Structure formats: structure tokens, C-alpha cells
Amino acid sequence: MKIELINGVSRGTLEIIARKISDRTITDRILQNEFTAVGLCQGDIVSMLVASDIAEKTSDVVVSEISGVCPQHITCLGIFGDVTSVEASLAVIESRLNKK
């Protein structure tokens, strides 16, 4: 699973991300700059779902699939929140899924 953290995400990047999320509640919050950081986790569907579950159980973050209308077997999870919360979630995902 490929994991990246972007802090203070640039405006055009937020718009690209928002276009690839189908949950309008979350895209509205993204476009209103509610989140200062985003964690990205790319992998197969099973890993993405497990990572999503870990993130929400680890810290105060919002999770959403970043892939748009036509999901593939490789998908990308977005983890949104402040940088401390996102980092905490990514650390647990890293240790659980990439250390196997």
C-alpha cells in the first residue's frame, strides 16, 4: 500500500480530489477548506477498506474513496483532518498493512 501525506493542500489539488469523490457531503467540506491535511492510501479494494477502518478507529478523521465514477481494483483512500490526526492514522495503517 502506497501512503503519502499532503499538508496545506493547494487549491487546484483540492479541486482535483473533490472531483474524484462521490460523497457530496465530504466534497463540500473539502472545498470549504475544513481540512488542513490529507492522507492518501492507494491499494486494492480490500486493503483500502481495512485502512479506512483503521483510520477511523485511530483518530478524528473523515474517510472517503478517491476515484470517481468508475472504480477499479486499484483504488485510493483519502483521509481528511488536521495534520496530527492524519499522521496518526497513517502511522497505524503503515504498521499494520505494510509490515506484514
Binding site for its own copies (CB under 8 A): 2, 4, 6, 9-13, 15-17, 19-20, 22-23, 40, 42, 44-46, 48-50, 52-53, 55-57, 62-77
| Contact in structure between 23 and 40 (CB atoms under 8 Å) | no
At a CB cut-off of 8 Å and minimum separation 6, what does 41 contact? 1, 2, 3, 47, 48, 51, 76, 77, 79, 90, 93
